[in-house]
Every structure is written in structure tokens, then in C-alpha cells.
Structure 1
């Protein structure tokens, strides 16, 4: 066996051990059920969650035994805290700065690629993702809505409403700015590529590193900068919610992949689909908030199902 193949197998085993909860292999009947469910639904609306990205090496929050909440008492930063406290913003960005080189290098897996193929073959209407990791775009999908935003863009939140300056910058470009202000931590950011990171791409670092970190302000209005994601405690923009509602109305069914639907923004999609009498199906390892509502629930790893479709 050549070295490249050994490294790929080693990487796959590492991901399975640390990011994917224990599960049984998908059986032929499960695959047949989903195949039959999709065969007469060319306008299926696919909802994806963290469970499809764990196979790329991005940990999730809630999976049994391997999710961040299971392995530590860490809680993600809350939006009101981020807006209110310079120290919390500084801590967030210092951790994100050191985690970005590895997080941004994560690649899509079979499920992302399969969904991109389905879109190309006009076998789905749209993807609504709860993830902020940009992996659907990397896989080649075009028709997707990022319910909670995207960590690959940085925006100014220094002013509210009409007075907001509208400044934004690509996260890769912002990383270069952060490097210019934090040369002593730049080398450490490269070293951290070998470390594990949290679901949103940040890493655990020392209080000394946080103290040394310099966080620049918006160059247009000197306001505060944040990634273009919906933090816990924040609200999804109303135009995005309205878009998803219209997608549900125009679909012929819902397929949830890799989400426990514990966050209401995802659970609400199932509630709205059931109100409209639409068929619903879930593929996820472990229980979900909507198991009692859906027509089909398959307890399996998403790629085990998707690779056979």
C-alpha cells in the first residue's frame, strides 16, 4: 500500500473516531427507502446540518459521545455578549485567527459532492444548510441558502439599521490583515493546523495569547467586525426566512441530512412542511427533535446512504 493511500485511510479513521458518533452501517432496506422517496420528487428541498460536515473533520455540538457539548463544558459565544464586550470580541477573534488556517482548508466530502451532482442533474430544488463552513460551495453547489450565514465573510456591525456602513471583507483577506497586526502569533497559526478546532473554527489558546492579540476596527467607520454568521442569541434575517418559506411551498418534499434539528430554525422547516401536507424524511445518526413528525427516519451516516443513490 502506497504512502498516500495509507495517509488517506489514517485520516478517515481519525475523523470516524473523533467526530462521527457510533452507528450501524446503513442496510440495503434503508437505501431503498430513501431511493423510493426521492424517485418522484424532482423538487426536493434538502436541509443539511453539522452531521454532514463531521465526515470532513469538522466537529459538531450535540452528537452523542463526540459532540463539543459532550466532550467539554465549552459554550459558544452569545451574540449579545459579542456586541457588548470588546474583551469577548478580542477573545473570539484571537481563537478564530489561530484556527482559520486549518478550518478554511477543510474539503467537502461525498455527501456535499453528491448533492452538487443532484443539483446539476436537476434532481433537487434547493439546499438549505445550517452550516457556516462553505463546503456546499466548495463542492460546486449553486442553489443553496446558508440559514446561519457563512464564516468566509466578515462584516461591520458598528452601527444599526440605516446607519450601518455596509463594510465587508473576504475572511482570507481579513486573515492577512490580522497577520500584519499579530506577527508574533502568525507562526503559531500555522502550527495550529495540527490541532483540533471547534465547530465554528476557533481553537483553545492561552490567556497570554489573547492579551497579545490586536483586533482592528472597521476601516470605514471604526465599528466592530464579526463573521457573517448568525451567532447563538441572534436572529436570522427576515428576508432569509421568507426565502426558505417560499422554497418549502414550491418543493415537493423535505429531506433532512445530518441534523438533530434542535435549533428551532431547522425544526421550523419540518413544522411548516407538515402544515402544508408535504412528505418529510430524515437521515441522521441518533434521535432528532422531529422524529415524531416525519414520514421517514433513517438512523445512518449520510454518506452511507448518499453514495448508493
Structure 2
């Protein structure tokens, strides 16, 4: 199907939107599974919590990656969804991304399903801090690390704010300044469950909408697919915009194979016009 089918299905509907890594590729953040994605084996929660060497590697790479992600700007797809929210068409966004680009674009009702790169939490006492505050501590322990890594070149940032850095063996990381416990990015790792309250908030967005729009997600993991199944079970139409096949295609009312930026920009123009009539 093509863009007119998408507009026809969603015109006059109040939308919940589910987004994935494919929406942020035009902002320079590669997805995990696309043809231009760097080789990446996302760290599991078990690896992170059980092995200090994994934590050392992660924090060294994240020390580079989070800065690149923080400097990333929203693209036309993010801006289109923010415009549709202002027009009263989009009720809210559920995102599997941790890049905060929806918030940067101006979307107000956003459920960051997998957390964000910008916060760190202690697994023992729950103390939280900003990633910027942690960066100052890590930089003091590892002076010059960023400059040395960037001189080597070839840095590529993954969707979880990880980065490809060749030598992490000398990197020093820190524990919680409050209790000495293990610090972890406030990101849901592979093998880790999304907090129940966050899932409930996302379901509420779908329940309050007339239709669900999926943009840039392969729906490979259940974390996102469950909202498609929930919408279908409630009799709500589902539209999917994504490059390539998704796990939700058999459930979709309309599936458009294409890039998110151009299609969402077109959709925003058309649906906002319908809303003004």
C-alpha cells in the first residue's frame, strides 16, 4: 500500500504513535538491524551486572556515545509528530528509543518506554543522577580518554548511546556516590523488563486513541509488538510505516514500506489539514 492509503485510514482519527530506531536514522543514529548499521551486540542486563569487565567496556564506550547522542537533533519525522500533537491529531507517543529526540522536537506527551540516555540510576539504593554529572566524574578519572578515542576515528553510535571504541582496557568507572552500589544507565537492557507503571501508561495512550501508528520499528521484540496486539484486540486500526518487513505486518490495517521522515512529514500536512476543516 502507499501514502494515500495511510492518509485515508488515519484522517479524522485521534492517534497514539509507537516509534522505533528507524525513526532516528535520519538524525544520524543507526538502528540495530538496518543495512547501514554498525556491527553491534547490545549488552544484556546479565552481562552488565555480573561482570566488571563488561561494565568497564560499557562505560568507556558510553562515555563517548552519550555525548554524540546528546548533540543529535530531531529530524523531519520527529518534528512532524510534534506538529500533529499540537494540531490535536496525535494524543501521545510511545517510543522505544532512548535518544530524547521526540522531546527535543517539541512532543509533550511522550512515554520513553526503554528509558533515556540522559539519566543514571543506582541498582542498590535507587539514587539517580544526570549523565552529564557522571561524565564529570568519569572525565576526572580518565583525562584525555575522549580525545585519544576520537583520534583513532571510526566512532559509530548505537541506539543505546553505546559507541564503537577499540581500546577500553584502561578505563576507570565509578560506583554510586551514595552507597557504593552499581550504577547503570536508566535504559532497559536486553533481558530486562520495562517497569510496569511505564507499560501501563503506554497502554493507556493506546486505549485513549482511535488508531495506532507505528513508525520506524521492526517490532522484533515483544516490548513494542504488545501494543500492536493490544490495539488490534480492541478493534482499533493499525498503520505501520517502516523500511522492510516488521513482525506486526500481518496485524496491520495498512503497511507502507518507506522512510519515516518523508512519509510522516506528508502525513502531518494531510492530517493537520483534515483537522482544520
Whether these two folds match at TM > 0.5 is yes
| Pair 1:125-2:125 in alignment | no
Does structure 2 retain, via aligned residues, the 8 Å contact 1:46–1:254? yes
Match of 2:37 among 67, 72, 78: 67
Counterparts in 2 of 1:244 and 1:193: CA distance versus 1, 3 Å: farther
Counterparts in 2 of 1:123 and 1:88: CA distance versus 1, 3 Å: same
C-alpha displacement of 1:278: 0.6
C-alpha displacement of 1:190: 5.7
| Pair 1:95-2:61 in alignment | yes
Distance 1:260 1:66 in 2: 15
| Pair 1:175-2:147 in alignment | no
Distance 1:113 1:229 in 2: 24
C-alpha displacement of 1:170: 1.0
Q: Which residue of 1 aligns with 2:172?
A: 214
Does structure 2 retain, via aligned residues, the 8 Å contact 1:30–1:305? no
Q: Which residue of 1 aligns with 2:19?
A: 48
Distance 1:90 1:76 in 2: 15
| Count of residue pairs the alignment pairs up | 267
Counterparts in 2 of 1:285 and 1:196: CA distance versus 1, 3 Å: same
Q: Which residue of 2 aligns with 1:146?
A: 112
| Pair 1:78-2:40 in alignment | no
Does structure 1 retain, via aligned residues, the 8 Å contact 2:241–2:256? yes
C-alpha displacement of 1:100: 2.6
Does structure 2 retain, via aligned residues, the 8 Å contact 1:108–1:135? yes
Write out per-residue CA displacement over residues 204-258 of structure 1, whole angstroms, 9 at most, x where no aligned residue: 2234xx2221111100000111110000000011111111222222110100001
C-alpha displacement of 1:140: 1.2
Match of 1:113 among 76, 79, 90: 79
Does structure 2 retain, via aligned residues, the 8 Å contact 1:59–1:198? yes
SS in 2 for 1:136: helix
SS in 2 for 1:205: coil
Q: Where does the alignment leave 5 or more consecutive residues of structure 2 unmatched?
A: 270-277
**After alignment, is 74-83 or 190-199 more displaced?**
190-199
Q: Where does the alignment leave 5 or more consecutive residues of structure 1 unmatched?
A: 1-28, 160-164
Larger RCO: 1 or 2 (CA < 8 Å, sep 6+): 2
Q: Which residue of 2 aligns with 1:259?
A: 217
Counterparts in 2 of 1:105 and 1:190: CA distance versus 1, 3 Å: farther
Does structure 2 retain, via aligned residues, the 8 Å contact 1:58–1:199? yes
What is the RMSD of the two structures over their aligned residues, measured on CA atoms? 1.7
The runs of at least 4 aligned residues of structure 1 exceeding 6 Å deviation read none
Does structure 2 retain, via aligned residues, the 8 Å contact 1:148–1:229? yes
SS in 2 for 1:212: coil
Distance 2:185 2:212 in 1: 29
Residues 174-213 of structure 1: matches in 2 within 5 Å? 174-188=134-148, 191=151, 195-207=155-167, 210-213=168-171
Provide TM-score, normalisation by structure 2.
0.91
| Pair 1:227-2:197 in alignment | no
